[in-house]
């Protein structure tokens, strides 16, 4: 790997860490970049998880340092998603490269369309619902979210935000705090599968992880201070950037 490639990967990680923590979609940038730099799709997909795992350690720490934590429920969702992620990672290892690229392209379009047309709701803390019934539904849904996350990861942040905010009525900041914890837990399981199958390029992965982690640490603390209004604006910017990328550069 030459110095230019290292800089590209590091910069990609910074941007991806920012978007992944405040909203989602960072892997829609990092995955195509890794493939463009020469990694086979399955290896790029696995290598990206090194950065995702590292990023969410710093994201969880950043949110916790600002008092944003719902550990008990986050843990329930995380374990459910972990079980699904093992299945998803096994599928990712076995799928053919050209089919993976086509699936990624379709997912990129679907995620952007979903995010653009999703109606934004004003948060009312008094309407938060963490009843036992809603927790059970959440655990059930996150098993399938884990399958998707273990398989491809790209855009899973948007899916998690939609699921948690719709089901429980949490604020965007609190939702993001739960999101980074859940992704950290299930990514650990996916990583084990990818390491066992020898799918990871560690040099690329560790450089990307450095960028992702720095972006996640800054963004997790910054987003709590700025609140839902600013975070929502960043989410809109993320969608616009992804849409432009899809339209002109995919």
Tens-digit pLDDT profile for residues 117-155: 655 555 455 577 778 888 899 899 999 999 998 988 777
Name which residue leads in pLDDT, 18 or 224.
Answer: 18
- pLDDT value of residue 124: 53
Tens-digit pLDDT profile for residues 176-229: 788 889 999 999 999 999 999 899 999 999 999 998 888 877 776 665 555 555
Name which residue leads in pLDDT, 179 or 25.
Answer: 179
pLDDT of residue 231 exceeding 70, the answer is no
- pLDDT value of residue 213: 85
Question: Over the chain, what is the mean pLDDT?
Answer: 78
Answer yes or no: pTM beyond 0.85. Answer: no
pLDDT of residue 242 exceeding 60, the answer is no
- pLDDT value of residue 220: 66
Express as a percent the part of the chain with pLDDT over 90: 24
- pLDDT value of residue 236: 58
Longest alpha-carbon distance in the chain:
54
pLDDT of residue 81 exceeding 60, the answer is yes
Tokens of 179: 């999101």
pLDDT of residue 46 exceeding 80, the answer is yes
């Amino acid at each position: 790997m030459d110095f230019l490639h290292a800089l590209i990967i590091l910069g990609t990680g910074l941007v991806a860490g920012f978007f992944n923590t405040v909203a989602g979609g960072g892997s829609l940038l990092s995955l195509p970049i890794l493939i463009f730099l020469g990694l086979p799709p399955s290896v790029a997909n696995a290598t990206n998880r090194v950065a995702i795992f590292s990023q969410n350690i710093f994201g969880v720490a950043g949110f916790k340092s600002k008092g944003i934590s719902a550990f008990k429920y986050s843990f329930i969702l995380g374990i459910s998603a972990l079980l699904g992620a093992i299945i998803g990672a096994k599928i990712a290892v076995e799928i053919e490269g050209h089919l993976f690229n086509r699936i990624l392209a379709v997912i990129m379009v679907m995620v952007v369309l979903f995010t653009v047309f999703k109606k934004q709701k004003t948060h009312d803390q008094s309407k938060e619902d963490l009843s036992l019934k809603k927790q059970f539904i959440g655990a059930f849904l996150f098993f399938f979210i884990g399958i998707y996350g273990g398989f491809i990861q790209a855009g899973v942040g948007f899916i998690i935000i939609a699921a948690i905010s719709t089901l429980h009525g949490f604020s965007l900041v609190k939702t993001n705090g739960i999101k980074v914890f859940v992704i950290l837990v299930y990514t650990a399981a996916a990583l084990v599968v990818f390491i066992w199958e020898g799918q990871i390029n560690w040099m690329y992965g560790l450089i990307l992880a450095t960028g992702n982690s720095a972006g996640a640490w800054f963004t997790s603390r910054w987003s709590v201070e700025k609140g839902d209004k600013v975070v929502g604006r960043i989410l809109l910017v993320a969608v616009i950037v992804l849409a432009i990328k899809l339209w002109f550069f995919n």
